[in-house]
Amino acid sequence: MQDPATLAPPPQTATGESGASTKSTAHASLRPRHLTMIALGGIIGASLFVGSGTVIRSVGPAALISYAIGGALVILVMRMLGEMSTNRPVVGSFMEYAREGLGEWAGFTIGWLYWYFWVGVVAFEAVIVGRILHEWIPMVPDWSFALAGLLLLTISNLMSLRSFGETEFWLASIKVSAIVVFLIFGTLYVLGLLPNSTGSVANLTAHGFMPYGWAAVLNGVAVVVFSYFGTEIVTMAAAESEQPAKAVAKATNTIVWRIVFFYIGSVAILLMVVPWDELPSTTSPFAFAFGRFGLPAADQVMNAVVLTAALSVLNSGLYSGSRMLFALSKHGYAPRWVEDRNRSGVPWKAILLSTVVGYIAIAANYVAPKVIFDFIMNSAGLVAMFVYAFVALTQWRLRNCMSAAERESLKLKMWLHPWLNIVVLAAVALIVILMALNPANAPQVWLSLGALAVLLVIYPFVRRRSSTRAEIHTSC
């Protein structure tokens, strides 16, 4: 039975001949229903429930185009990642593929950036949890709720992989149910089948469909694309599941309807229920819309859903960050002791190290509000773009390294290779340029590029220290 951490292929299988043998069964305890909800819930976060209001107010109803363009980019990236993951599921996911296709430097760089991103997200979501609970129980300081939430999910992740899967299953179920209920009531409201219905399709154009022009729409893409980040988690989790290749293929094949249904569909209903210029930008627009349906305590119900979404992202962040750190340690990119597992097969030191950084960030946030948080989130703000670019380049490279027979045997193939790879790379470049030209987003660009530069400078020293580790063999 093979350990998920030792899923690097033998020399002759760089292009995936041994894909079937890479399945981990030693600690593979994530079941299909867990992965289904991880795939469904991974695309629904507080950025949808709250952040969509900011996007809509800055773009207008044309935010639908922003979400559609951003969703199309994610669909293409997931298809590329799906091709590689069904061929050879591994815990490190795109870090392992980048290392194999582009070189050690690529795996080191993107792996550490991804870990750094999720450490910041874990701290951020913990603070969100603290603020929501503090509103309900004002006599308890919000920092104590933040620490309690992080501690609770740390324990859940440490107990077992199954514990993580069950926690995420139920948290994601609540998020998905909330969106489904909203879509049902929203559709009835727009059709005039609820009492006092005032919503209609006309609301999409009555106050101007594209009030701020195409520039705002494209800037909206730069914002919404980060809302979709997290869809790639299922390719990491699949390596610790019972049927990894099947799970990845299913998640990849269903990404289109998940984006259309959960994001584009819910935003469209939102815009038809309430004129776009009446939606709040700082609180949940969904709570505002639920109030139109005449549902009692809509604000508090949506606060509970946002709380669930924050806990879900926190839970997934702990999993993703720890697994990426664990994979980094296997190649000497992180301390070797990070590889240690507990009796349940969980990389407990990787979890604790990721969590400790989260605790420090939370504490720093209350000592110097915003300063530490802004630095962490801005310096990792372009990680999604870096990941998408690396995935596009890696899949392009690995596909070109395959023989005709190997290409034919692929269970899942990227469409129009390599032309859509070029489209993704061009889109990433355009988004980065737009962000750099926008004063509000420019700090993210320069701090993220600075973090990338630091890792590239550090890599040669780390590589010398880890030179005794096994080298990756690839036919590229």
Which CATH number belongs to the domain containing residue 222 in this structure?
A: 1.20.1740.10
Q: Residue 207 falls within a domain, yes or no?
A: yes
Q: Is the peptide bond before 418 cis (omega within 30 degrees of 0)?
A: yes
pLDDT tens digits along 36-79? 888 877 778 777 888 898 899 999 999 999 999 999 999 999 99
Q: HEC profile for the chain?
A: CCCHHHCCCCHHHCCCCCHHHHCCCCCCCECHHHHHHHHHHCCCCHHHHCHHHHHHHHHCCCHHHHHHHHHHHHHHHHHHHHHHHHHCCCCCCHHHHHHHHCCHHHHHHHHHHHHHHHHHHHHHHHHHHHHHHHHHCCCCCHHHHHHHHHHHHHHHHHHCHHHHHHHHHHHHHHHHHHHHHHHHHHHHHHCCCCCCCCCCHHHHCCCCCCCCHHHHHHHHHHHHCCCCCCCCHHHHHHHHECCHHHHHHHHHHCHHHHHHHHHHHHHHHHHHHCCHHHCCCCCCHHHHHHHHCCCCCHHHHHHHHHHHHHHHHHHHHHHHHHHHHHHHHHCCCCCHHHHCCCCCCCCHHHHHHHHHHHHHHHHHHHHCCCHHHHHHHHHCCCHHHHHHHHHHHHHHHHHHHCCHHHHHCCCCCCCCCCHHHHHHHHHHHHHHHHHHHCCCCHHHHHHHHHHHHHHHHHHHHHHHHCCCCCCCCCCC
Residue 17 predicted with pLDDT over 50: no
pLDDT at position 300? 81
State residue 372's pLDDT score: 65
Residue 224 or residue 360, greater confidence: 224
pLDDT score of 283: 79
Contact 234, 15 (CB under 8 A): no
Q: What is the mean pLDDT of residues 239-267?
A: 86
Q: What is the structure's pLDDT at 467?
A: 55
Q: Does residue 417 sit within a domain?
A: yes
Averaged over 409-421, what is the pLDDT?
94
Q: What is the pLDDT of residue 370?
A: 65
Give pLDDT, residue 204. Answer: 93
Question: How many other CB atoms sit within 10 Å of the CB of residue 471?
Answer: 9
Whether the pLDDT of residue 412 is over 70: the answer is yes
238 domain residue, yes or no: yes
How far from 14 is each of 49, 348, 403, 409, 475, CA to CA, in Å?
Answer: 42, 30, 11, 14, 6
Span 378-387, pLDDT tens digits: 677 788 899 9
| Tens digits of residue pLDDT in 164-194 | 999 999 999 999 999 999 999 999 999 988 8
pTM attached to this predicted model:
0.87
On the question of pLDDT at 357 being above 70, the answer is yes
Considering the domain boundaries, does residue 16 fall inside one?
no
Q: Which pLDDT score is estimated for 476?
A: 65
Q: What confidence score (pLDDT) does residue 223 get?
A: 82
Share of the chain above pLDDT 70, in %: 89
**What's the pLDDT score for residue 104?**
93
Average pLDDT over residues 334-359: 89
Q: What is the pLDDT of residue 284?
A: 84
Encode pLDDT of 113-153 as tens digits.
999 888 888 888 888 888 889 889 999 988 899 999 999 99
Higher-confidence position of 427 and 225: 427
pLDDT for res 468: 45
**Mean per-residue pLDDT over the chain, rounded:** 84
The count of C-alpha atoms lying within 13 angstroms of the C-alpha of 237, restricted to the half-sphere facing its C-beta, is 32
- pLDDT of 147: 92
Q: Quote the domain boundaries for residue 145.
A: 26-465
Q: What is the pLDDT of residue 142?
A: 85
Residue 154 placed within a domain: yes
Distance from C-alpha of 291 to C-alpha of 367, rounded to nearest angstrom: 37
In the predicted model, is pLDDT for residue 460 greater than 50? yes
pLDDT for 2:
32
Q: Measuring CA to CA, which residue among 355, 264, 357, 275 is closest to residue 314?
A: 355
- Mean pLDDT across the stretch 17-33? 53
Q: How many domains does the chain have?
A: 1
Q: For position 1, what pLDDT does the model report?
A: 34
Check residue 368 and give left, alpha or beta (phi > 0: left; psi -120 to 50: alpha): beta
The answer to whether position 448 is within a domain reads yes
Q: Which two tokens stand for residue 437?
A: 């030209």
Q: Is the pLDDT of residue 404 over 80?
A: yes
Query: Which band of pLDDT confidence, cut at 50, 70 and 90, is reported for residue 19?
Result: very low
pLDDT classification of 376: cutoffs 50, 70, 90 = low
For 190-239, how does the pLDDT look when each residue is reduced to its tens digit (9 = 90+)? 998 888 888 788 999 988 999 999 989 988 888 888 888 888 888 888 88
Quote the pLDDT of residue 200.
Answer: 84
Q: Can you tell me the mean pLDDT for 10-14?
A: 34
Asked if residue 471 is part of any domain, the answer here is no
Q: pLDDT tens across 258-292, in order?
A: 899 889 999 999 999 999 999 987 778 998 888 88
Q: Which amino acid, 169?
A: F
pLDDT at 349: 94
More confident of the two residues 348 and 6: 348
Whether residue 139 is contained in a domain is answered as yes
